[in-house]
Structure 1
């Protein structure tokens, strides 16, 4: 039986009990997926999931309320930490875990703290069945190369990070552990899912970040090929994706057109949040493309306060994200990057520090005449987002309201209404991140520890739920 007090007084006993419970859950999940339950336990699947998942969740919620126990949990290392991380991830992913969103957040926080301290991540985030489709990368950027790959028959994006020493790859994995776990638990139609990590079979064992493949690439490339699409839909999607992150307390920090991807149905998805935060810490010491112009090469999209010479440790905020969002509006409505007429990054920084903003298109240009840009959008959305005072920048809900009002007025003027952001667009045919993790968990199973005698109750009945070890033994013998 898993008990909170054992975590401090008898850590081995606690971890072993948790591992027993995880073995039971793995057996249940595997049997449920294959429908191979013995006749002696016709209702055991549903009973087992709901009861044991709830019991485990309750134990970890108790730990989250106990400062000493929570600290002891976060200090676990090696195999002990891995067992707990796998268990916490299983609890969070299971449809049988009946807990409130607040309690789910508490368990996720325990997971993140343990990952941060141990440098480990749940095994279900480690993807092995990934192959590269072509012999060359689709594109290359500051952090690395983008390859198209396959994962269990589905197209995926492989972001291969440019770190070439095996020891540095290991350090990088430790840095990405927490970010990857957090990213994998976010779900929104305007957010690119994160499936997990994959290591290439090369000398360095380079690390890849795996996500679904966005059919149309980044928003700028998409607009070059499809100039007549509804650009309001794309900026709304970008707003909704960033708003979802902000509502979950997450700063993107690297928002720009190449990080807005367009799906097969034409939906814009925000991608690559969290990468800049890792880059700011250590990764730039190891990558071959470290830039003195700014983290991630994003000078043109970064808010001016991030280049304040009087502040050495300026960090991205929600308001600096809004500044970058204004730059994304600029890209979508004009087809140009900010300060496109300036080639040197240092000159861009000088312009920003002196108060200059990206150039406004002429009234007879394509942006104003054909692509939907209006004075109202320029003034109330783009221009305001570039305010030098962060507190004067608009909120994302305000931007969404202004966009809706302008588009509705424009539709009435033209005698037609533009389609809404999601009108006529089916959900993406992607696996969710949780589905990927559960499928990995099912296919791998767990190595059952040996050395225990099988246990079956004399009356042929089932063990009690406070006897996890006996449940495990019963499951082994009833296979």
Structure 2
């Protein structure tokens, strides 16, 4: 499965294409990759603008501007787009500059400009723009004029946690203390999301970015949802199989506890420094986790029991607060 797990922040096109979230078999989300047949650039642009305006006028955004503060409205001409460094559920991420500041720019590609993806783009902006936390990627603004739809965030120098563990060759620098600090960073970010009634739904090491101070921040909210009082069920079943909770794979009602399952996989990665389900095809992972109850081999050490608890049935999984407390208890233990 090594070809599946190439890092989001590696620089070759082969690697970049491999860490993308995917729609699961039989999911209606698979239709998102279909692009209407073109009959010329002008007509395409007119259709895009019309679709975009229709989305903005939908019930989700009535009386609530997508970018309520003028400083969040960025003209695409202000951006200097540099090297491609990653890929999200939709769009590709580039290192760039905005008004002299080094930033990350998520840019829509033409083939991604479908109505469904534009709705996800609005959803990600709506969620990320309301979050201000040291362990959540900082939203700086967006260009909301098709066909140049893009989002600008702070730039994280060391790339994704996935890259750091599996690609960079620096995993030997990950001391037990660094691992604990990183897990606590992710847990704090996740705690913020859940307190604000947000479910990430695609939490994985590739969506946890690391800066030069080794601080970890959660990113990529394209699949995120606002929680209601009851369990939710989405019309789509999408994500990254190796990190997905079984209830998401089965397209069953879900709560914020699906993120706890994914956090358990990240803990497993940092404990073992291995890729989850390496060498096993994604469709086999999907079936094994969702239908056979298969789980990765539990590592020894103080985090093993916590990983087991994160992979329990949804209502038996610990909260972020409990996980954080137990991570503090591991401070002087060895993994």
Task: Report if TM-score (shorter chain) is over 0.5.
Answer: yes
- For 2:97, what is the secondary structure of its paired residue? strand
Q: Which moved more, 1:249-258 or 1:393-402?
A: 393-402
Cα distance change of structure 1 residues 160 and 275 upon mapping to structure 2, 3 Å threshold = farther
Q: 2:303 aligns with which of 377, 381, 384?
A: 377
Q: Who is 2:295 aligned against?
A: 357
How many positions carry a matched residue from both structures?
266
Q: 1:273 aligns with which of 221, 230, 235?
A: 221
> How far apart are residue 143 of structure 1 and its match?
2.1
- For 1:357, what is the secondary structure of its paired residue? coil
Per residue, is there more helix in 1 or in 2? 1
- For 1:195, what is the secondary structure of its paired residue? strand
Q: Who is 1:295 aligned against?
A: 238
Cα distance change of structure 1 residues 335 and 221 upon mapping to structure 2, 3 Å threshold = same
Q: Which runs of 5+ in 1 are unaligned?
A: 1-77, 83-111, 285-293, 362-373, 412-479
What TM-score results when the alignment is normalised by the length of structure 1?
A: 0.50
Cα distance change of structure 1 residues 330 and 116 upon mapping to structure 2, 3 Å threshold = farther
> How far apart are residue 142 of structure 1 and its match?
4.4
C-alpha distance in 1 between matches for 2:121 and 2:65: 8
> How far apart are residue 161 of structure 1 and its match?
2.7
Which structure's CA Rg is the greater one? 1
1:59-458 residue pairs with structure 2 within 5 A?
Answer: 115-116=61-62, 120-122=66-68, 123-128=70-75, 130-134=78-82, 136-164=83-111, 168=114, 172-173=117-118, 176-177=121-122, 179-198=124-143, 205-223=147-165, 224-227=168-171, 228-229=173-174, 230-277=178-225, 295-296=238-239, 298-308=240-250, 314-342=252-280, 344-352=281-289, 353-360=291-298, 374-379=300-305, 381-387=306-312, 389-410=313-334
For 1:209-233, what per-residue CA distance to the aligned partner results, in whole angstroms no more than 9, with x for missing partners? 2100001000122234432231111
Per residue, is there more strand in 1 or in 2? 2
Kindly indicate whether the alpha-carbon contact (under 8 Å) linking 1:195 and 1:210 is maintained by their aligned counterparts in 2: yes
For 1:400-435, what per-residue CA distance to the aligned partner results, in whole angstroms no more than 9, with x for missing partners? 121111223459xxxxxxxxxxxxxxxxxxxxxxxx
C-alpha distance in 2 between matches for 1:118 and 1:205: 22
- For 1:244, what is the secondary structure of its paired residue? helix
C-alpha distance in 2 between matches for 1:306 and 1:240: 23
Q: Which runs of 5+ in 2 are unaligned?
A: 1-52, 227-232
What TM-score results when the alignment is normalised by the length of structure 2?
A: 0.69
C-alpha distance in 2 between matches for 1:325 and 1:179: 20
Kindly indicate whether the alpha-carbon contact (under 8 Å) linking 1:261 and 1:269 is maintained by their aligned counterparts in 2: yes
C-alpha distance in 1 between matches for 2:120 and 2:62: 8
C-alpha distance in 1 between matches for 2:121 and 2:220: 12
For 1:422-462, what per-residue CA distance to the aligned partner results, in whole angstroms no more than 9, with x for missing partners? xxxxxxxxxxxxxxxxxxxxxxxxxxxxxxxxxxxxxxxxx
> How far apart are residue 163 of structure 1 and its match?
4.0
- For 1:159, what is the secondary structure of its paired residue? strand
